[in-house]
Amino acid sequence: MENDVQVVRESEVKELIIELRGEKVLIDRDVAKLYGVETKRVNEAVKNNRDKFPDGYMFSLQVSEKQQLVENFDRFAGLKHSPVEPKAFTEKGIYMLATILRSPRATATTFAIIESFFKLRELVRNVNIMSTERDEEKQKSLMQRSGELLNDLLADEGEITETESSIELNLYALKVKRTVKKTKKG
């Protein structure tokens, strides 16, 4: 990638993903921020390519959903009195949007978005499997991978110097402990 392209970290994307209608989504203004364009450019891309955004790819927020965003997320305060209906993009919609917005930053951002959605999905799958897995070695392996995924999703600029994972089996509970020690990159 070009040196002048600001790379978006997965942790930045993860912070913007919210759940609406049972789907993990990114709101149009967050997508625009990540792609380094104005929100109206994202919405113009949708308007000019409506056939590329069928149900399941993107939806307009209802008034109550918009109100929930304003009440629960400070970054959406500007929507309070806006007549605009924000759009929510699902993972599939983000992929489609990436085929339309073709700048180097959009491409780099799309990679970060794809990785974040993939890791979130894998983490949920691992946690679900871990709760029913009886083989202790498989549990340890799933826990190690889940710890790595969590670290990737929550990582900041630091470099990992040491990690520790352990599983404690109690009669009715599975306890997970993950310790990550980081130092700032020099």
Q: Give pLDDT tens digits for 108-122.
A: 777 777 777 788 788
Domain-wise residue ranges, the chain: 10-115, 122-184
Region 156-184 average pLDDT: 48
- How far CA 161 is from CA of 19, 141, 149, 185, in Å, comes to 33, 20, 16, 11
Q: What confidence tens digit (pLDDT) does each residue in 56-105 have?
A: 999 999 999 999 999 998 889 888 888 888 999 998 898 888 778 776 77
Region 143-160 average pLDDT: 66
Q: Are 179 and 147 in contact (CB under 8 A)?
A: no
**CA–CA distance, 155 with 184 (Å, rounded to integer):** 11
**CA–CA distance, 170 with 168 (Å, rounded to integer):** 6
Residues 6+ apart with CB under 8 A from 72: none
In this prediction the pTM is 0.58
